[in-house]
Structure 1
Amino acid sequence: MPAEFIGVRHHSPACARLVAARIAELRPAYVLVEGPVDMNDRLDELLLGHELPIAVFSYLRAEGGTRMSWSPFCDHSPEWVALTAGRAAGAEVRFIDLPAWHSAFAERDNRYSDGALRYSEVTARLCREFAVDNSDTLWDHMVEVHADLDPVALAERLNTYFDVLRGETTISTADDDRETYMAAWVRAAVAAAGDRPVLVITGGLHRPALIPLAATGGTAWPEVPTPPAGSEGDSYLVPYSNRRLDAFQGYQSGLPSPGYYERLWADGPARAAEGLLESVATRLRDRNQRVSTADLIAARTQAGGLAALRGHPHPARTDVLDALVSALVSDGLEQRLPWTSDGTIAPGAHPVVVQMVAALTGDRVGRLHDATPAPPLLSAVDGELAALALDRAGRVTLDLTGERDLRRSRVLHRLRVLGIPGVRRTSGPTGGADPTSAEVWELTETDLRLPALIEAAAYGATLPDAAAVLIRRRVTDPDTGVAELAAALYDTALCGVDALSSDLGERIADRVATASDLGAVGAALGTVLGLWRHDRLLGSAGSPVLAEVIDAAATRVLWLAEGTHGGTGPADVPRLHALAALRDALRHAEPVVGVRLVDVLGVAQRIATRADVPPDLAGAGLGLSWALGAPGEVHVPTAPNRMGDWLAGLFALAREEVLADESVLATLDGHVADLGDDDFLVALPALRQAFAFFPPAERETIAHGLLARRGLRRSARALLRTTVDPVLAAEAAALESRVEDLLVREGLLPGSSPQTPEGTHD
């Protein structure tokens, strides 16, 4: 007897009902389901009695990286119904698709993603024909709201739709490989079943190809593939959530609004529409959004009218949503409603629309049965947390100078790097040169922790191994910027893991050597230099890998700085910090820096004297020379639009040298005193930024000198404590001066007379 094929849309309640009806009627010998064959020996584990949604999480870890994929199931997934109803009917149930770690899934992270189905030209034509907005609305219009369709009529409708779709859709080589493999399972099952039926449930796009492929060929049971040599692959069950299933959140499979389709599966389309109205109203009211009884009556009435107008026996999802928008949103919408287009909900959507979409999503989170096998990483983490008293919620304060607290810190940082929810550091050291040795963490309980840990097992069986693999992946990713590279290196030290090697250092150095963002390269140099110099606490001081990165970054900062020209401000603080990092590298790590000091001084002096260099960089050039022992002549610019930015560069690089030489501040004091009110107002913001490079104690020293030069006996500290914004005070003084000039000119002040403009006669 030939097999019967049912093509479905993933997570469709209508398709799930059809699968259940056909299994009940046929009582097949075999039920074959699109799903990972490596789980066939573990179907009992899949059917333990979990709370859905759940997913089969699969990974492949190899030298080139780690690939992960999910095969999710919810109550109304046709594949799930096939498993449960088939097992209940006494059938042999088998998954028949390639494992998710197979190369056929290299370009996708979800087995059931149907990009070709959602965006094909045939669905676009059908949308135009039926005057609907997108493929999801089209599917509801053709299938989901027609609960009265008998299984035969529904199957005919689905077959027609998928046959037309497959006839005009280009299929990838990977899908060809999957279909060839699935067809081999069908042939073997048909041969083994004899005269009993075989039912095959796959995505509708595969059905037209599987029918002819299953008609001819061998009948031996196919082998289950194993991971390629030199790699490791496995699959585990993980809790899933409605949010992760929702197309509005970016899930490219099945249907959007899983909370709505849960209601549709449980109660039918009429009650699902009523439930949608209630859930939206409840959610909005809980968030203090006004929803009156009159609003709901209007929405219910409009939903019924739209359903009748669109030929629906019951209000469909978009009928209800359109009616709710009409009843609840009175102001203009700046973007399309999310259910009228394919894609995620965009930032800036109307608040009521956002809450409507959230109500449709639902808040269900899956839960695994207690007997579900877990990857080794979970028991390893649980053991470490218990041994270190980190297995409970609350605040944890650590002293990193203590061996036990340092170990606890490393465990928490490994969890943080792996993205495990419920682990958050609120304070602690931020760089290798940061003297802080105390950390504070907040640990909270969350249902998201278990799935995150199971998925983190793709990186390793122990916490140090998993963190090291993930950090290594970050630093080898070609899209990672140089500043992020430095952060990854710092995470290596915080986690206490060996994620670096000499060849990796070479690759990072090569990336730094070709970067074009001076500020980012400088940030990387500062971070790595701090680790190389100071972090004996974290174990990275003197690392040869870090030394290699320091050399590359210092050379690149020098090259980029000399190549910068044009612009007048404001001061670019990141590039000033970059030159400061170069200064520190030459002061403290000269043995590992390949560029010679004399060459650095030459570049610094050229930057300081070239006319086309931005003022902040010119000041930094002089400051770099001065800080490295080759002071040049200080000429503070007098132009109000350059003075403050130039000083910012000087102060950023040679703050201590400036404080030690009273003549610089005295010269600056004279220039500022000579500024007119308007020029002072122009110069003031940049001057404030420049003096921000001095810490409070040093600013007080400068204020003391300022008072002394004027022969004033006042508190320097009080001079720094203004109750009014200095820029606002300067603007007020300038305004008063202009008003006074105007009054004098017009003769409105006592003892003044109107002034005759030059060149005119009375």
Structure 2
Amino acid sequence: MPETATPAGPVAGGEAAGPVTLLGIRHHGPGSARAVAAALAELKPDAILIEGPPEADALIPMAAHPSMRPPVALLVYADADPSRAGFWPFAEFSPEWIALRFGIDADIPVRFIDLPSGHRFAALPQDEDAEDREQGTASEDDQEEERHGEERHVLDSMRRTDPIAALATAAGYDDPERWWEDVVEQRANGTFSALDSFAAIADAMAAVRDQTRPEDEQREAYMRQCVREEIKAGRRRIAVICGAFHVPALAELGPAAPDVKILKELPKKAKTTATWVPWTHGRLSFRSGYGAGIESPGWYHHLFTAPDLVVERWLARVAELFRAEDLPVSSAHLIEATRLAQTLATLRGRTLAGLTEVTEAVQSVLCGGYDTQMALVRDKLVIGEDLGEVPPDVPVVPLAADLAKEQKRLRFQPKPGQTEAKLDLREPNPGDKSRLLHRLNILGIHWGTLGRSQGSGTFWETWSLDWQPEFAVKLVEAAIWGTTVATAASAKSADRAADAEQLAGITDVVEACLLADLPDALDPIMTLLADRAALDTDVAHLADALPALARTLRYGDVRGTDTSSLRKVADTLVVRIALGFPPACSGLDEDGAQKMRVRMDKTHQAVGLLDDAAAIQEWHRALRLVADREGMTGLLAGRALRLLYDAAKIDGDELNRRMGLALTPGVPPAEAAAWLDGVLSGGAMLLIHDPVLLGLLDRWIAGIPADTFTDVLPLLRRTFSNFEGPERRKIGELARTVGAAPVAGVAAGAEPPGFDRARADRALPVVRMLLGLGTKGETDA
């Protein structure tokens, strides 16, 4: 006779009607968690089976460790490729967590019965490729059908991952937990037992469940096999805690042969490792492991932990949050918000106010109808920022253990949410924190993002910190580089430098090594840098490599780093760039000229950081050649001239003379506009403080032929769009005053600057003859 699993049938004499009782739950649901606790107390099982990764069975006892504080997650990853990993998160209000703690505290055997992750990891690449192929071959009709059937697909997805949410949606509820509270837990004032509630959910699931995926069939086949093993071992009261979607498939165990056949088709299981890692409430919104995410983990935690007066206690927390932000909240506000939330619930036919009613009440009464303050409530309370903790003796890779040791030594533990750390590099502890963050960034673990320092001097660093639970996987992946953060960062830096295709990639690694204080990696990388720099003849590569070296030389002394070898490489680069830059700027199209202008600006800034007179002189000589070179692209010639002017290597008269030549009618308008873009891209103050330049520009714009003005206009707009609003307004005001002068910037009747009347007189006879104007006397007449 095939075994039968009972979906929590009627209780008689303390035993269910069959050896197996199925408790179909909603993952991360506080209502389900309370129901599971009541059902287990009523059932008194002798074995508890939970939907979860079997690889983590040995870690179950750690759930009762005094240092374990949810939210936490089980991490399972493939030994050969740690990027293949899965998380199974648990919150304090997760039904699975309640079942774990119940079994451990009552000394009842507990095990996980989901399909082993090793099978999933082994099949992952093939499945992803197949999915890509299916998406890539979809016809236009299929895509149109997909667009029109979006709601249906969303419902199907909810049925598979969160069936209780699907039932709640069908009943008109926007909060699945509110539906569970109203329909299950509060019906008939508790006349029915928790086991009866799960029986009702099982019946509902049988109606909702109308399709399965091959993955679901494999998982459920494995679950049935696990249940059969427990029955064979003589268990009389087996409690199975699983997603409600799976209950209909587990209700009838049937013969084992079909399940054995399904499981034989699975790929060979990959070797895996499991551990506990801290989790956050914010990350509970992600679909991972066995369950769907939830949108309001902070609210669910409140529902589960509040002993009474749920709405009142929640509004008190909102008031505490607002007052901490210096936002006015009075007792009258809270009383009125409570009344409004309860009234809304009554109008909507609900026994108690839920998150929707409370949110609307808070926004209306406490926020004045505005959404700005509600964003604070959503981030801090509805979602929450709780970060869990795991025991220190949890098995981890050596690299993760070294990081935890460093965090403890530096008193630099991760905190939930985004925080800011301002570090003074002159102090030992902040300096070590900075080095740790730089080393983690090299390993791809971006716990901290370096921002613009608010302090004076180069010895301050301001970091934006945001620890993500997924960094646990990153640590496992980075463990191939070493057993400590320092050795792993050094090894990865050396590998990055060796694989760099261009010189700039090596100098970026050098800069990162100096910031992270990795002397073991720096020596071989410096040798590689010197060799590659000597062989590289591409000026663009050399120019791209210089800024990182210049920053390192300028700020390396803050960390006490020896940069003498870098100085030699940098000096050599400047000389080679100066020699090759003018020829490299010739014959470029518009895109090439734009890229070269960026290199010119960065190189100019880098040479200034070097603070070396000889290097600066060589670079200025190169800029003069670019500005004076015949046939040079207007954009680069103008930009070189502007950099020389900013460096006080040419004066205002010379700039006026060059602008007068560049904006003459003989120069094509597009080329003149490009030259103007190069000169003015450094800022508008040049035009504001020099009326002669502004006058020349005004006269040139007024003289552009109508048929070419449309082509030149985008270039002019791009140039002036870089100016600030007040600067553009000031230029417009000044342009009104210069427009009346016959020669812009020159008084009426006066000769423009640089005008040679004697030379002009000598050319007049030839001009009259060419134009057929006759002699001077005839022309005057």
- Tell me which moved more, 149-158 or 415-424: 415-424
Encode CA deviations 1:429-478: one digit per residue, 9 max, x unaligned. Answer: xxxxxxxx97655699x9959995686244214325654798899999xx
Residue equivalent to 1:186: 227
Match of 1:689 among 680, 700, 705: 680
For residue 245 of structure 2, give the secondary structure of its aligned residue in structure 1: coil
- The alignment status of 1:81 with 2:106, answered yes or no, reads no
State how 1:349-388 maps to structure 2 within 5 Å: 350-356=372-378, 358-381=380-403
Name 2:45's counterpart in structure 1.
28
8 Å CA contact retained: 1:53, 1:242: yes
Deviation at 1:191, TM superposition (A): 0.9
**Cα 1:328/1:214, change in 2 over 3 Å:** farther
CA–CA distance in structure 1, aligned partners of residues 84 and 156 of structure 2 = 19
Matching residue within 264, 272, 275 for 1:236 = 275
Does 2:288 align with 1:288?
A: no
- Residue 456 in structure 1 maps to residue 475 in structure 2: yes
Structure 1 residue 665, shift from structure 2 partner:
3.5
The answer on 1:264 being equivalent to 2:265 is no
Aligned 8 A contact 1:187 1:214 in 2: no
Name the SS of the counterpart of 2:225 in structure 1: helix
Match of 1:748 in 2: none
The one-letter code matched in structure 2 to 1:28 is: P
Please give the root-mean-square deviation of Cα atoms over the aligned residues, in Å: 6.4
Out of 128, 131, 134, which is 2:172 matched to? 131
Distance 1:247 1:310, change over 3 A: farther
| Partners of 1:522 and 1:312 in 2: CA distance | 73
Greater CA drift, 158-167 or 77-86 = 158-167
1:415 to 435, 440, 448: 440
Mapping for residues 271-282 of structure 1, pairs under 5 Å: 271-282=309-320
Task: Tell me by how many angstroms 1:154 deviates.
Answer: 1.7
1:576 corresponds to = 597
Q: Does the C-alpha gap of structure 1 residues 661 and 396 become closer, same or farther in structure 2, counting only changes over 3 Å?
A: closer
Partner of residue 198 from structure 1, selected from 233, 238, 241: 238
**Judging changes above 3 Å, is the alpha-carbon distance between structure 1 residues 314 and 653 closer, same or farther for their aligned structure 2 residues?**
same
Letter of the structure 1 residue corresponding to residue 206 of structure 2: D
1:129 positional shift? 4.8
Match in the other structure for 1:3: 20
**Conservation of the 8 A alpha-carbon contact between 1:58 and 1:235:** yes
TM-score for the superposition, normalised by structure 1? 0.59
Change over 3 Å in CA distance of 1:378–1:683 after alignment to 2: closer
Greater C-alpha Rg:
2
Counterparts of 2:493 and 2:186, CA distance in 1: 49
* Structure 2 portions without partners, runs of 5+: 1-17, 129-153, 415-420, 529-537, 554-561, 574-579, 607-619, 694-724, 743-781
Q: 2:80 and 2:568 mapped to 1: Cα distance?
A: 31
Change over 3 Å in CA distance of 1:129–1:471 after alignment to 2: farther
Measure, in 2, the Cα distance between the counterparts of 1:323 and 1:662: 66
Deviation at 1:4, TM superposition (A): 1.8
The residue matched to 1:97 in structure 2 has which SS? coil
Aligned partner of 2:87 in structure 1 is 70
> Residues 375-454 of structure 1 correspond to what in structure 2 (within 5 A)?
375-381=397-403, 395-397=423-425, 411-417=436-442, 418-419=444-445, 421=447, 440-441=460-461
The Cα shift of 1:737 comes to 6.2
Task: Report the AA paired with residue 39 of structure 1.
Answer: A
Report if aligned partners of 2:48, 2:109 keep a CA contact under 8 Å in 1. Answer: yes
Q: Distance in 2 between matches of 1:134 and 1:58?
A: 31
Contact 2:22–2:241 (CA<8 Å) still a contact in 1?
yes
Query: Aligned runs of 1:491-506 on 2, under 5 Å?
Result: 491=512, 496=518
**Inter-partner Cα distance in structure 2 for 1:260 and 1:492:** 45
Compared CA separation, residues 468 and 81, structure 1 to 2 (3 A): farther
User: Conserved in 2, the CA contact under 8 Å of 1:422 and 1:443?
Assistant: yes
1:278-329 alpha-carbon deviations (Å, 9 max, x no partner): 2122222332333343332332222222222333222222222223333344
Cα distance in structure 2, aligned partners of 1:163 and 1:18: 20
Superposed, 1:313-328 pairs within 5 Å as 313-328=351-366
Query: Is contact 1:426–1:440 with CA below 8 Å preserved after alignment?
Result: no
CA distance in 1, matches of 2:204, 2:586: 59
Q: How many residues align?
A: 593
Equivalent in the alignment of 1:720: none
Contact 1:69-1:101 at 8 Å conserved across structures: no
1:90-101 matches, within 5 Å, as: 90-100=107-117
Give the match for residue 54 of structure 1: 72
371-380 vs 150-159, which deviates more?
Answer: 371-380
SS in 1 for 2:222: helix
- C-alpha distance in structure 1 between counterparts of 2:205 and 2:292, whole Å: 16
What one-letter code is carried by the residue in structure 1 that aligns with 2:387? V
* The one of 144, 148, 166 aligned to 2:209: 166
Contact 2:623 2:641 in 1 (8 A): no
**In the alignment, what sits opposite 1:175?**
216
User: Structure 1 529/441 Cα, relative in aligned 2: closer, same or farther at 3 Å?
Assistant: closer
- Could you tell me which residue of structure 1 aligns to residue 345 of structure 2? 307
CA contact (8 A) 1:257 1:360 kept: yes
2: CA distance between counterparts of 1:136 and 1:486? 55
State how far apart, in whole Å, the 2-side matches of 1:422 and 1:287 are. 25
Aligned partners of 1:284 and 1:352 also within 8 Å: no
* Structure 1 unaligned residues grouped into runs of 5+: 334-348, 429-436, 477-481, 506-520, 548-553, 586-622, 638-644, 707-723, 742-762
Corresponding residue for 1:116? 157
* TM-superposed deviation, 1:56: 1.7
TM-fit CA distance, 1:384: 6.5
Pairing of 1:505-520 with structure 2 (within 5 A): none
Which letter maps to 1:459?
A
SS of the equivalent of 1:35 reads coil
- Structure 2 matches for 1:732-743, cutoff 5 A? 732-735=733-736
The one-letter code sitting in structure 2 at the alignment partner of 1:211 is A
CA distance in 1, matches of 2:344, 2:232: 51
CA change 1:145–1:532 in 2 (3 A) is farther
Q: CA deviation at 1:10?
A: 0.9
For 1:631 and 1:685, the matched residues in 2 are separated by 15
Answering whether residue 199 of structure 2 is matched by residue 156 of structure 1, we say yes
Secondary structure, aligned partner of 2:113: strand
**Corresponding residue for 2:535?**
none
- TM-superposed deviation, 1:201: 0.8
Report the Cα distance in structure 2 between the residues aligned to 1:292 and 1:27, rounded to whole angstroms: 48
What amino acid maps onto 1:313 in structure 2?
Answer: T
Check 1:385–1:117 CA distance in 2 against 1; reply closer, same or farther (3 A cut).
closer
Distance in 2 between the 1:634 and 1:580 partners? 21
Separation of aligned partners in 2, 1:395 and 1:184:
56
Q: Which amino acid aligns with 1:324?
A: V
Tell me the amino acid that sits aligned with residue 99 of structure 2: A
| Distance in 1 separating the partners of 2:301 and 2:430 | 47
C-alpha contact 2:345 2:357 (8 A) present in aligned 1:
yes
Aligned equivalents of 1:83, 1:386: Cα separation in 2 = 30
The alpha-carbon distance between structure 1 residues 560 and 253, as it changes in their structure 2 partners (threshold 3 A), is farther
Is residue 21–residue 237 contact of structure 2 (8 Å, CA) maintained in 1?
Answer: yes
* Identity across matched positions, percent: 24
